[in-house]
Structure 1
Amino acid sequence: MNPLIQLRHTLHQFPETALEETQTANRILEFFRPLNPDLILEKLGRTGLAFVFKGKKPGKRLLFRCELDGLPIEDLKESDHQSQIPGKGHLCGHDGHMTIICGLGEKLSQNRPESGEVVLLFQPAEETGDGARAVLADERFEQIRPDFAFALHNLPGYPLHQIVMRKGTFAAGSTGMTIMLTGKTSHSAHPEAGINPAQALAQLIQELPKLPQEATGFALLTLIHAELGSLAFGTSAGKGSLSMTLRAFDQQDLDELIEKVKFKANGIAESEGLKVGFSFVEQFAVSVNDSELYALVEKAAKDLGLSLTEKPDPFRWSEDFGLFSQVCPSFLFGLGAGENCPQLHEGTYDFPDELIEAGVGMFWGILSQLQ
């Protein structure tokens, strides 16, 4: 079996979830040591890795990024490389993305860049939106701060090997948001002696989903969880919470939607005599593709004889590579995983091994044009 495919299968068997990817990082480190990179950064952003290959002359620094983490979802597809970790699986294809960057590392070890530097980044915790932020916050990031950054994501539902492109926004920004309402418990026989958040919660559930209609571009608010008091029939509730996911194609629209939710919640809470608080999780920036890099990606695809498609609208899902587009000109593109491939995050999904060669070829083609 092709060594890269064997590596992908090994990674698939031993998935680790966000910020726990120590064994995965060790496997990647073992793969790269014989390739003699000029610089190795370990535990970057806690569990990440970066390998730097330096050129013969000064020049631009290019970064190619992949993700280390799997998902807390059972791997249901029976195969000789099925996940050996109960309740966890590489069901988004990060095992394949890592393998592609490993293949690029092999090529760089045999053909150092003519100029500049190439950074191969294995980023933790993409699925939770914490990984890119952790890497950028690491003080050692300055050693690898790129002039250009690139990433790909496999896309089920598109023909195998097709390159999916967009200028501007490629994927939405999103955030998980929870509103916490605090009143006062009382005996359920005397609810007037307490402050029950039920009415405020009901009003928020009705009114918040209407807020995105005010945005100039695409915006969406999806309610995902509500909680009121506890299952104690003698007690009138004194606490409640409402959780939602906000998303938009424009970062300003997303930021404004968050402020509108806060304003609405504060107003309703005040009218009901409640205290209100907010918390945020899984925050993803909008992924914005630099229009000037489009031609490089397009040429790389054409040189490989791969079909290209222009997506009319951005994807509604999020990818934390979006934070890199706030650091430097960046480009995220899709690589078709087959029209009949199970969707990402489904239990029967398995990254198609045929994509490894195409992914390496795409990154090498981009790299070659920037030397």
Structure 2
Amino acid sequence: MRNDFPSLTNTDFAELTEWRRNLHRHPELSGEEERTAATVVAMLRETLPDRIVTKIGGYGVAAIYDSGKPGRRVLLRCELDGLPIEDIADIPYRSNVPGKGHQCGHDGHMAMIAAMARLLGRKRPEKGAVILMFQPAEENGSGARKVVEDAVFAELKPDFAFAIHNMPGIPFGQVRIVDGPVCCASSGVMLELVGRTAHASQPETGVSPMSAIARLMPEFAAMSSPIGTSTSNPDFALVTVTHADMGAPVFGVAPGEAKLFATLRSLTDNGMAALIDKVEALARTVTQENGLKLEIGYTDIFVTCHNHPDAASIVRTALDRIGVVHGPGMLPLRGSEDFGYFGRGAKMALMLLGSGETLPALHNPDFDFPDDLIPVGSQIYAAILQAVEAID
């Protein structure tokens, strides 16, 4: 990779590494990122942006660096939140918070954007403006939606939105980028089946959810596409039962209640809506046939992440200029990312940046973001800004 990033030095990246490790020690879950946001704001103030916006969509933070000249407005986004996973990595800066960690690398994503804050603080864009967005609550799918629905976001008016997510399994420093779908839409569905308990010696006097649960689990699984179906198939669907619970761990009572959780995945938002309709229709039919009441809830809702061809083309131009190997790879992913909400008002592109083929997978308890990826990601962002400025 060519060194086209002269405005930041080895000292800068050493300081950004320590800043990243401080974030790593103090992970906060979705919607709880108060300390993380304060750490971000303190860093941003040192770079003297034209405006800092706080508490956008929760604990979200945005910094605007404006050229004062007409031009496109570009948003670069990272995430604030960690995960409810114990950090077991053998590192001196392991999480200080029991049961919480940064095993998705959001600390590293923030460090990449912090590098851009330093760069933009020293040199504003030639035209237009750059918005650095530190988004809350990505892990549960609620943060991006709340940010774009926040009245303040309408004032930012980005024309383009870009984001990098690190990805183990991809060679270090390579990028995966496509036009169209990058990640599946997904939704967690929670079913509560309510009947009536009975003495275990007279189960026929109660209304048991047993038969309903026994039928729903395999029929939900049967809604999935056949094993081996590519996620690029527009009809791709996956239903994964993640939790089932019935009755109590006793021997004298026949169960009267049950809970069943499942994650639904589809390549498109329309496909997700159709899959939800199928799940609800089956659940209602089965519970009615068994004399049960049904309550349905949803959580962790993600829309599909769909790259705009214009934005993806800008990314490819930038990567070619700095000599980064790129291609479609295994995209689209079955997993989900809430960055897709930014595509509803801007031309967006999400890219996957290889963090190495031997690194533990994301969400593994021993995952740690590789610090050497900070200058790689920030150089890519800088090249993207230059590519946008070169348009017309």
Please classify the TM superposition score into its range, dividing by the shorter chain length.
Answer: over 0.9
Q: Which amino acid is 1:143 matched to?
A: E
Q: How does 1:283-302 map to 2 (within 5 A)?
A: 283-302=301-320
Instruction: Find the counterpart in structure 2 of residue 74 from structure 1.
Output: 86
Alpha carbons 2:234, 2:268 under 8 Å: kept:
no
C-alpha distance in structure 1 between counterparts of 2:235 and 2:37, whole Å: 39
Q: What secondary structure does 1:331 align onto?
A: strand
Matched, 1:85 2:97: yes
Identify the match of residue 37 of structure 1 among 37, 49, 73: 49
Cα distance in 2 for partners of 1:88, 1:313 equals 29
Q: Which amino acid aligns with 1:131?
A: G
Q: 1:50-72, CA deviations, whole angstroms, 9 ceiling, x for partnerless residues?
A: 00111221222211100001111
Q: Which residue of 2 aligns with 1:49?
A: 61
| C-alpha distance in 2 between matches for 1:183 and 1:136 | 41
Runs of 4+ in 1 over 6 A off after TM superposition: none
CA distance in 2, matches of 1:279, 1:84: 34
What's the counterpart of residue 364 of structure 2?
A: 346
Name which of structure 1's ranges 259-268 and 104-113 shifts more when overlaid on structure 2: 104-113
TM-score scaled by structure 2?
Answer: 0.91
1:155 aligns with 2:167: yes
Structure 1 SS opposite 2:73: strand
**Which runs of structure 2 are paired with 1:86-165 in the superposition (5 Å)?**
86-165=98-177
1:257 maps to which of 275, 288, 296:
275
1:198 pairs with 2:242 = no
In the alignment, the residues of structure 2 paired with residue 212 and residue 48 of structure 1 have an alpha-carbon distance, to the nearest angstrom, of 36
The code of the aligned residue for 1:49 comes to V
Number of matched residues?
Answer: 371
Q: Secondary structure at the match of 2:62?
A: strand
The 2-side partners of 1:230 and 1:6 are apart by 49
Partner of 1:240: 258
Is it true that 1:221 corresponds to 2:239 in the alignment? yes
Distance apart, 1:74 and its partner CA = 1.6
CA shift digits 1:62-88 (9 cap, x unpaired):
111000011111211222322222221
Cα contact 1:181–1:241 (8 A) shared by 2: yes
Structure 2 contact 183–331 (Cα < 8 Å) conserved: no
Superposed CA offset, 1:139-167 (max 9, x none): 21112232111101001111110011111
Which shifted more, 250-259 or 54-63?
54-63
How far the C-alpha of 1:308 sits from its partner, in A, is: 1.2
Aligned twin of 1:309: 327
- In structure 2, distance between residues paired with 1:133 and 1:294: 22
Q: Which 5+ residue runs of structure 2 have no aligned equivalent?
A: 1-10, 227-232
SS at match of 2:306: strand
- State the AA in 2 paired with 1:92: C
> Partner of 1:115: helix, strand, or coil?
coil
Shift of 1:4: 1.1
Are 2:162 and 2:349, in contact at CA under 8 Å, matched by a contact in 1?
A: yes
Offset, 1:189: 2.3
> SS in structure 2 opposite 1:37?
coil
SS in 1 for 2:222: helix
Instruction: Calculate the aligned-residue CA RMSD, in Å.
Output: 1.5
Find the counterpart in structure 1 of residue 183 from structure 2.
171
1:101-148 deviation line (CA, Å, top 9, x unaligned)? 011111111111222221100011111111112212322111223211
Whole-angstrom distance in 2 between the partners of 1:34 and 1:119: 16
8 Å CA contact retained: 2:76, 2:162:
yes
Residue among 332, 337, 352 paired with 2:355: 337
Question: Which residue number corresponds to residue 4 of structure 1?
Answer: 16
State the alpha-carbon separation in 2 of the partners of residues 313 and 29 from structure 1: 34
Per-residue CA distance 1:328-365 (angstroms, 9 max, x = gap): 21100011101111111112211111111111111111
Alignment gaps of 5+ in structure 1: none
Helix, strand or coil: the match of 1:119? strand
Q: Is the 8 A contact 2:67 2:128 kept in 1?
A: yes
The AA in structure 1 aligned to 2:152 is: R
Match of 2:289 among 271, 278, 287: 271
Instruction: Quote the Cα distance in structure 2 between the aligned partners of 1:91 and 1:211.
Output: 31
Quick check: 297-306 or 332-341, which moved more?
297-306
Change (3 A) 1:231 1:312: closer
The TM-score, its normalising length taken from structure 1, stands at 0.96
- Note if contact 2:168-2:357 (Cα within 8 Å) is conserved in structure 1: yes
Q: Distance in 1 between matches of 2:375 and 2:298?
A: 39
